[in-house]
Amino acid sequence: MISVTADVFRLAEVFTISRGSRTEARVLTVRVERGGVLGWGECVPYARYGESLESVTAQIESLPGDITRAALQEALPPGAARNAVDCALWDMEAKAAGKRAWEMAGLPAPGPLTTAYTLSLDTPEAMRRKAAQHAHRPLLKIKLGTPDDMPRLEAVRAGAPEATIIVDANEGWTKEVYLDLAPHLQRLGVALVEQPLPAAADQDLIGLDRLVPVCADESCHDRESLAHLHGKYDMINIKLDKTGGLTEALALRDLARAEGYKVMVGCMVGSSLAMAPAVLVAQGAEVVDLDGPLLLAEDREAPLRYDGGSVFPPEPGLWG
């Protein structure tokens, strides 16, 4: 049996990116029960990819209750719906076998990871204050993507002079803006830029000097995406809500590495249940951005443990 419910988690504060602001995380929770064993997973439908709570719920409810993980990969496209069901099946299968999900996947035991902490888009002065508040964290991620980004970036560097900084433009720049900003990103010690150009225009990255490594986010969903990224990006951002679950995320990670890409593992703004399987994918990744629960005012029972700048693998009471 497969069931799906909508849940809402309040954010600790307003979260803003170049596309808009939010005060809560709206997620879908999927439960799969077979033989008295219950597994669960979470997804975050994303309007950027044409998803809504209603459309993703309909996709999930269209599935037969006894679907297997292998059949699921063909039944649904990459996206939020397949992610929640895939992760719920992993959880259920691990519990039924009396093993951890990482064992079922043939992976080594996971360990803690250094994760980014995201500063949402705001005025330069507000971002400087927020950066100073979190300057003890080793890795800060800045949401940018407007015509006035340089004062914001300068302010964050002033507020957190020792932290490693990565920048997410959320498709908000043009080629001309990127070329203008790139030397300043290098000067300010930015380690990575995510998706500087719209996915539909990222061919403009071909032939450009990438003074700072460029990471594909909206341009990379699953393994089929890789064929369109050559010559444009140095790294890919793997998110389970894009790949359609843990099964494809692990396969994408391995193929991307084989093709010479570095790996970032990211997330939508969701609860610890959404982050838990991503922790397995993130083992060994060059950049980890699994801070969703840190942005929430409330979380699941038995949440992930965060300590300083680290996130720890899930306990069995949460997932896997």
Distance between CA atoms of 218 and 170, rounded to whole angstroms? 8
From residue 274, alpha-carbon distances to 194, 256, 292, 303 in Å are: 21, 22, 9, 10
CA distance 123 to 120: 10
Q: How far is CA 123 from CA 130, 151, 152, in A?
A: 11, 9, 7
Task: Give the 3-state secondary structure of residue 8.
Answer: strand
Buried b (16+ CB within 10 A) or exposed e, 94-109: bbeeeebbbeebeeee
Beta bridge partners of 192: 166
Is 143 annotated in the active site?
A: yes
At which residue do the structure tokens 């444009």 appear?
232
Check 141, 143, 232, 242 and give the catalytic one. Answer: 143
* AA identity, residue 20: G
Q: Active-site residue 175, yes or no?
A: no
- By the 10 Å C-beta count (0-12 exposed, 13-18 middle, 19+ buried), 168 is classed as buried
Q: Catalytic: which of 130, 141, 239, 242?
A: 239
Per the structure block, which two tokens stand in for 124?
Answer: 């330069």
d(CA 12, CA 297): 4
Catalytic residues: 143, 239
